[in-house]
Amino acid sequence: MQSHVEILLVEDNISDAELTMRSLKKYNSANRIYHVKDGAEALDFIFAQGNYISRQKEQLPKVIILDLKLPKVNGLEVLEKIKGDERTRATPVVIMTSSKEERDILESYKLGVNSYITKPVDFEEFTKAVNKLGCYWMLVNQAPC
């Protein structure tokens, strides 16, 4: 694992994860991307516990891209824990999911999500959306120090 992760990608669909990582790297939006496949692993990574206990917990990602429909711990639960902890509250979280459900959108914003993006089905549109997401959060957004 790289020493400092810029983007933590929490995505159980391997095809979506590979496409997202490829798109971010292609457009030089991020060089240090770390991928986890479920909500439990995401929480372990973020809070430096379990298999990630040796990770420096003060080195948080610049942004977390989080799917909602995850095994073990769902995305809303992960979001709630991130935004409910003083150490991680300011870390930007972007929900990127296939869900267009109004209740998912409302609950995500209620819990403190920074952005909610519905995954485009079309390959080109998906790539463009990921590129814009990476450019904004990695290059334009001013994150807290």
Domains observed in the chain: 7-138 (3.40.50.2300)
Tens of pLDDT along the chain (145 residues)?
444 668 899 999 999 899 888 888 776 656 688 999 999 999 999 999 999 999 988 889 989 999 999 999 999 999 999 999 999 999 999 999 988 899 999 999 999 999 998 887 787 887 787 877 777 777 677 766 5
Query: Which pLDDT belongs to residue 2?
Result: 43
State pTM to two decimals.
Answer: 0.88
Tell me which residue of 142, 131, 97, 103 sits closest to 115, measured CA to CA. Answer: 97
The enclosing H or E element of 110 equals helix 102-111
Number of DSSP helices (H) and strands (E) in the chain, helices first: 5, 5
